[in-house]
């Protein structure tokens, strides 16, 4: 059973991860090099990363 404290920590980790995502997107968008990352690929990688964080914490 997931406790209330676990939910709070997962929410905090999600917010931090989302902030890092937008920071990375901002850097990619403002980079002068021609390094184009597919947005869908980036979101997929981020979702997998977030799932692994939550999965490792819950188990």
| 3-state secondary structure (DSSP) of residue 3 | coil
pTM metric for this prediction: 0.43
Domain ranges (residues) in the chain: 4-58
- Quote the pLDDT of residue 57: 75
CB atoms within 10 A of CB 14: 13
* DSSP track, 1-53: ---HHHHHHHHHHHHHHHHHHHHHHHHHHH-SS-----HHHHHHHHHHHHHHH
The Cα 48–Cα 57 span in angstroms is: 14
Mind listing the pLDDT tens digit for each residue in 1-51? Answer: 667 888 888 888 888 888 887 777 777 666 655 555 666 677 788 788 878
Mind listing the pLDDT tens digit for each residue in 40-59? Answer: 677 788 788 878 887 887 76
- Quote the pLDDT of residue 19: 80
């Amino acid at each position: 059973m997931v406790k209330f404290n676990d939910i709070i920590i997962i929410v905090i980790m999600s917010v931090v991860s989302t902030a890092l995502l937008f920071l990375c997107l901002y850097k990619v968008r403002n980079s002068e090099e021609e390094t184009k990352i597919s947005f869908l690929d980036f979101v997929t990688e981020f979702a997998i990363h977030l799932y692994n964080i939550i999965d490792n914490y819950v188990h």
